[in-house]
Structure formats: structure tokens, C-alpha cells
């Protein structure tokens, strides 16, 4: 089957690696704004009779990225692509996974419904909490984990004895699994959230560890990690490392974390701390699916 990997600007480096490994065609997606701020998109190669894989990170400007991604899929469909697949290295609007209060948006369901034009949607490590499986929201959507990639990075990079810590209960689905892969102990901290930036964390022993690697899926404001790092320092930890899958890093989060620890993220969202390449996970998934 002929495959065309179509990349948005933020994900072109990942997409090139994927295309090379799969021996697929590669194209960048042309984007410009009309004077009235509407988006103008164009594929630079013919998608006809090809499986078109659109790779995009729907981060930072999620509303814009969602519309651009849907327009790109529409082009592929109009010009007779055989299949259209989305690989979202980051997917937004997943934190609201139910109607929390009366008449409030169930955004994870509502936004995923917009992507019905795709035959398949792969989402790299979606932020799932009360909903445990993406297929509860969309039969076309699948969770693509980069835990093995992170575990391999840690194994190569960190030789000293270390403890893995999850900064809150939600992080356990990453920190626990990566610790298991590495045969390491893990401690999961407890957190109560009072708002977007106000939290409370329960003091918990961290095994008197001197070297600690904190693992979380999304680093947004960094408040949760900041509290966990202060707790670790108070307990005598010396070397601290924070690994985030999705480095949103808003409101000075990186500066907040770097006061206490080395900061590392994957490249699902391009940033200067992105040292872990997720393309192997994408390549493996597409090789099985395509």
C-alpha cells in the first residue's frame, strides 16, 4: 500500500523520520492565513489512492490546530485518498471527561466527534482519568503509548540507583508502568486540586532516595511538580530529574522546575527541553496498522 506522510510545521522532524523508516512518500502541508484570518491549506503531493497519515501536535493554539487538521483531512478525502489517518502527538480538550456540573461541556467527547472524517486517530498518551479507554469516546481513536521509549531513554541515560516518583495519582499510569519496565521502585504522591493553579499535596516518604526521577504526562504550569520537588528536597534528595511526555510549559513552568531539577520532555510538543524522540512509537504503530 502506498503511504503519504503529511506533516504540519511543528511535527515535520518527526514525520520525516517516520516516512524514511516506512519508506513512505513525504510532504509538508502548506499553510497561510487569508486577510480575514481564515486558514488556507494545500497538500504539496497528490493523495489519490494513498493512505494519508497526517501528523500534527494540537498544542499551544488548539482551536487553530484543530481546524487546520480537519481542513487537511478534507483535502485528502476530496482528492480520493484511500485512507486518512491522524497521528496527534498531543491532543487537547481531554481534561473535561464528563459533565462536571450541570450544563457544562463534556469537551473530550465533543472534540473527538469532530474527527469522524478520519479512518483512524492515534493519540500519543492522551490525558485519561475517569475514562480509561479512548474507544469509550470514539471507536476510531486509539491510545499510543511512549512509555517504552521513555524507559529506554532512562535506561541509557541514568546509571545511578534512583527512585521513580509520580507527582499525583493521575501520573501513575505512566510512572508506575515505566518503573515496572525498569524494575525500579515507585512512589505515587497524592494531590488535591482547588483550581487551575492551586493545589495541595500530602507529605509522603520517598524512600530516603538521593536520586529521584519524576514522571508526568503533561507539564502545564508546573505547580504540581514544583510542590513534589520541594517535598523531595525537604526529605534530603540531591539529584532531581523531571520527565514530562507533553511539555506545554506555560506561565514560566520551566523556570519554576529548573530551580530544583533537570527538565526533560519528549518532542510531542517542540521545545528546548525535548530530548526524547517519540518517532519509534509512531513507526511501530503505523507499521502494524498500514
Tens digit of each residue's pLDDT (9 = 90 or more) over 32-81: 999 999 999 999 999 999 999 999 999 999 999 999 999 999 999 999 99
| 202 vs 162: CA distance, rounded Å | 22
pLDDT tier for residue 90 given thresholds of 50, 70 and 90? very high
Residues in the chain: 290
State the cell numbers at 160: 545511578
- Other Cβ atoms closer than 10 A to 51: 22
pLDDT at 67: 98
Helix ranges (DSSP H) in 98-165:
107-113, 147-157
CATH of 3-145+278-289, one of 3.40.50.2020, 3.30.365.10, 3.40.50.450, 3.40.50.300: 3.40.50.2020
Could you give the 3-state DSSP secondary structure of residue 35? coil
Phi first, then psi: give them for residue 216, nearest 5 degrees.
Answer: -140, 160
Tens digit of each residue's pLDDT (9 = 90 or more) over 238-273: 999 999 999 999 999 999 999 999 999 999 999 999
| 145 vs 157: CA distance, rounded Å | 20
The CATH T-level fold of domain 147-267 is Rossmann fold (3.40.50)
Could you give the 3-state DSSP secondary structure of residue 288? helix
Tens digit of each residue's pLDDT (9 = 90 or more) over 212-230: 999 999 999 999 999 999 9
What are the DSSP calls for 88-99, one per residue?
A: EEE--S-S--S-
Q: C-alpha angle with apex 249: 159 to 232, nearest 5 degrees?
A: 45
What are residue 243's DSSP bridge partners?
Answer: 215, 264
Contact 1, 267 (CB under 8 A): no
Contact 254, 288 (CB under 8 A): no
Among the ranges given (14-28, 47-61, 191-205, 243-257), the one the predictor scored with the smallest mean pLDDT: 191-205
Q: C-alpha angle with apex 137: 136 to 142, nearest 5 degrees?
A: 80
Tens digit of each residue's pLDDT (9 = 90 or more) over 128-181: 877 778 888 889 999 999 999 999 999 999 987 999 999 999 899 999 999 999
User: Could you tell me where in the chain the CATH 3.40.50.2020 domains are found?
Assistant: 3-145+278-289, 147-267
Amino acid at each position: 500500500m502506498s503511504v503519504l506522510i503529511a506533516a504540519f510545521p511543528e511535527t515535520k522532524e518527526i514525520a520525516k523520520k517516520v516516512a524514511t523508516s516506512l519508506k513512505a512518500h513525504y510532504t509538508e502541508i502548506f499553510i497561510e492565513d487569508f486577510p480575514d484570518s481564515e486558514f488556507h491549506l494545500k497538500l504539496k503531493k497528490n493523495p489519490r489512492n494513498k493512505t494519508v497519515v497526517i501528523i500534527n501536535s494540537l498544542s499551544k493554539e488548539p482551536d487553530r490546530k484543530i481546524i487546520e487538521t480537519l481542513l487537511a483531512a478534507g483535502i485528502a478525502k476530496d482528492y480520493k485518498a484511500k485512507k486518512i489517518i491522524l497521528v496527534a502527538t498531543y491532543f487537547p480538550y481531554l481534561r473535561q471527561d464528563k459533565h462536571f456540573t450541570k450544563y457544562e461541556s463534556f469537551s473530550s467527547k465533543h472534540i473527538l466527534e469532530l474527527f469522524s472524517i478520519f479512518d483512524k486517530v492515534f493519540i500519543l498518551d492522551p490525558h485519561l482519568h475517569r475514562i480509561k479507554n479512548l474507544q469509550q469516546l470514539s471507536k476510531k481513536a486509539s491510545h499510543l503509548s511512549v512509555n517504552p521509549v521513555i524507559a529506554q531513554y532512562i535506561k541509557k541515560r541514568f546509571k545511578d540507583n534512583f527512585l521513580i516518583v509520580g507527582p499525583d495519582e493521575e501520573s501513575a499510569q505512566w510512572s508506575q508502568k515505566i518503573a515496572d519496565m525498569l524494575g525500579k521502585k515507585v512512589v505515587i504522591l497524592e494531590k488535591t486540586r482547588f483550581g487551575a493553579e492551586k493545589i495541595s499535596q500530602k507529605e509522603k516518604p520517598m524512600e530516603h532516595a538521593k536520586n529521584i526521577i519524576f514522571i508526568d504526562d503533561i507539564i502545564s504550569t508546573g505547580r504540581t511538580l514544583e510542590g513534589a520537588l520541594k517535598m523531595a528536597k525537604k526529605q534530603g534528595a540531591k539529584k532531581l530529574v523531571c520527565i514530562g511526555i507533553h511539555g506545554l510549559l506555560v506561565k514560566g513552568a520551566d523556570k519554576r522546575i529548573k530551580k530544583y531539577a533537570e527538565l526533560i520532555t519528549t518532542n510531542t510538543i517542540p521545545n528546548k527541553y525535548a530530548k526524547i524522540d517519540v518517532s519509534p512509537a509512531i513507526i511501530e504503530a503505523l507499521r502494524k496498522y498500514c
